[in-house]
Structure 1
Amino acid sequence: MPNVGRSAVFVVVLALGLAGCGADPAVPAPSSPTTSAPAGIMAACPSQGAEEFTAPVAGGSPVSGVQLGDAGRAVVLSYEWGGSPCDWSDVATELVARGYRVALWEYGTLTGLDRIKELQAVVDQVRAAGATEVVLAGGSVGGCVSMIGGSMITPAVSGVAVLSCASWYDVEHRLPTTPLAAKLRVPALYLAGDGDSLPIAEVRKDFAVVPAKDKKLVVVAGSTGHGVELLDGTEAAVAKPALFAFLDRVTR
């Protein structure tokens, strides 16, 4: 969605509570990361210091991505429908500067809940490379993938940041997100603009059923931003500090 019609920004923050684990998508052992230059859609992403990887996926095609940084705490970023991993490049660069390892990756051939097998493969790569704490973050469909992964990735991740995901997930399957949010027990941050085409009431509905003891909803008022757009422009003054504070806290 284009960044238009944004007004002065203020924020409504809601915090609540409850905790737990998740299911177990079987995946093969991760392959060793390569050091060649990123190819395909990943070639447009920042390549300085990037280490390309290809991860085998159970029941699907291998997925490709890049890792930046070499810290023990990591963030796996998942992008919006119709977008690109590179849309998160600026955020990735900033996270590396803040002491994180970051993985950007390209969706493969799986859809629906099976896509979490791809995310599992990426998390396995990041852990094999030395990450000891992993947080999932993403926008729109990537936010939904991160949210669902929060209850399915094993071992459990340290937390999830969900930007602009609610109502339904996956254009092919249109899975209702509320029952999936009800399984999320790891620390969770929800971010959304109240002027987004995604009704804020749907975001609040999903957030309300999240059973995690550590959860927080940040609503950027007057914002039409969707997904990673919330981390740019005037929205960033609210959304970015909330995201960074969450990441710092759950990866201590």
Structure 2
Amino acid sequence: MRGLTGLMGFMVGVLTACGGAVSTGTAVSGPSPAASPAGSPVASPAPIPTGPNVSGCFTEADGKIFEHSGGLPGVITGDGPVGVVITYERRGTVCTWRPLSDRLVAAGYRVLLYARSSSALPEDVAVAMARRLAKENGVERLFLVGGSIGATTAVPAALRLGAKVAGVVAVSGTINTQAAARLTAPLLQIGSANDDYGGADDLARAHDAATNAVSNETMVIPGESLHASALFTSPHGKDVLDRIVAFTDRHKD
């Protein structure tokens, strides 16, 4: 019995380390409060939402909560005429993209974030989410933003959507060169120089291929291996967020 218990504990550890958990409407608990000095009050963790929410970090106070793909949740925040669809990396959640979402909403964009099943093809779901956002009253154009696999599939998704797409932002993606060569919408790639996926060499290949893009920009963070949304909370976070908002502002009309 003791051996079985140990084996089960080992398997749980392996599955946790592998990541890829599906983000659903079930709220996730926040981090445990740090220990306080003797005599100091212990900070209470943030309350966990009990109503409709996306991964516990977006609620109806942030925008419209909706369901897609068999009950998975999503949220539309902001009310601007230009929409942004965000597709997170395989081991990410909508929560790790909140810094970008908040910046975009503050800049006047309408942002859609959604939980995604690991079995769903990110390209297909991104296209479906873009078409959903395009139906919102007042939305005129769309940007596709993705991290890692979400960035890799953002370009083929944009090709399927056509003229409605104002631009593509690919963070730590490895974009197929043939797809990049067909893209005419503006493209911004961002990544860390030493990242194993979406590093400097990957970005350079896609940049060289994207000769038909109206604008073809690349931002490489030197000496780093930070991946996708990890960039937002790094010391480079402000520069990365500023660059994305500047890009969308230039190409939204």
Distance (Å, rounded) in 2 between the aligned partners of 1:43 and 1:189: 28
Distance (Å, rounded) in 1 between the aligned partners of 2:66 and 2:110: 14
Contact 1:187 1:215 in 2 (8 A): yes
Matched, 1:189 2:213: no
Unaligned 5+ segments in structure 2 are 1-49
Q: What is the deviation of 1:157?
A: 0.7
Distance (Å, rounded) in 1 between the aligned partners of 2:242 and 2:128: 29
Residue type at the aligned position of 1:230: L
Residue type at the aligned position of 2:202: E
Q: What is the deviation of 1:242?
A: 1.2
Match of 2:229 in 1: 228
Matches for 1:5-44 after TM superposition, within 5 Å? 37-39=51-53, 42-44=54-56
Contact 1:189 1:246 in 2 (8 A): yes
Residue type at the aligned position of 1:201: D
Distance (Å, rounded) in 1 between the aligned partners of 2:216 and 2:72: 30
Inter-CA distance 124–62: structure 2 relative to 1 (3 Å threshold) = farther
SS at match of 1:217: strand
Residue type at the aligned position of 2:227: H
Residue type at the aligned position of 1:116: E
Q: What is the deviation of 1:63?
A: 5.3
Matched, 1:64 2:69: no
From the CA coordinates, give the structure whose radius of gyration is larger.
Answer: 2
TM-score normalised to the size of structure 1? 0.72
Inter-CA distance 89–109: structure 2 relative to 1 (3 Å threshold) = same
Aligned pair count reads 200
Distance (Å, rounded) in 2 between the aligned partners of 1:49 and 1:65: 11
The percentage of counterpart residues that share the same residue type is: 24
| Higher deviation after alignment, 228-237 or 83-92 | 228-237
Q: What is the deviation of 1:235?
A: 1.4
Distance (Å, rounded) in 1 between the aligned partners of 2:84 and 2:200: 26
Match of 1:123 in 2: 130
Distance (Å, rounded) in 2 between the aligned partners of 1:223 and 1:104: 27
Q: What is the deviation of 1:74?
A: 1.4
Matches for 1:72-91 after TM superposition, within 5 Å? 72-91=81-100
Match of 2:62 in 1: 49
SS at match of 2:145: strand
Q: What is the deviation of 1:231?
A: 2.4
Residue type at the aligned position of 1:133: R
- Among 160, 166, 185, the residue aligned to 2:168: 160
Any idea what the Cα deviations from partners look like across 1:123-156, whole Å, max 9, x if unmatched?
Answer: 1221211211210111101111222212112453
TM-score normalised to the size of structure 2? 0.71
Unaligned 5+ segments in structure 1 are 1-35, 168-176
Q: What is the deviation of 1:197?
A: 2.3
Contact 1:37 1:52 in 2 (8 A): no
Contact 2:130 2:142 in 1 (8 A): yes
Contact 2:171 2:228 in 1 (8 A): yes
- Among 104, 120, 132, the residue aligned to 2:140: 132
| Higher deviation after alignment, 82-91 or 186-195 | 82-91
Q: What is the deviation of 1:66?
A: 0.6
Contact 2:76 2:113 in 1 (8 A): yes
Bigger relative contact order, structure 1 or 2 (CA pairs below 8 A, ≥6 apart)? 1
Distance (Å, rounded) in 1 between the aligned partners of 2:123 and 2:234: 31
Residue type at the aligned position of 2:209: V
Matched, 1:145 2:153: yes
Q: What is the deviation of 1:111?
A: 4.4
SS at match of 2:236: helix
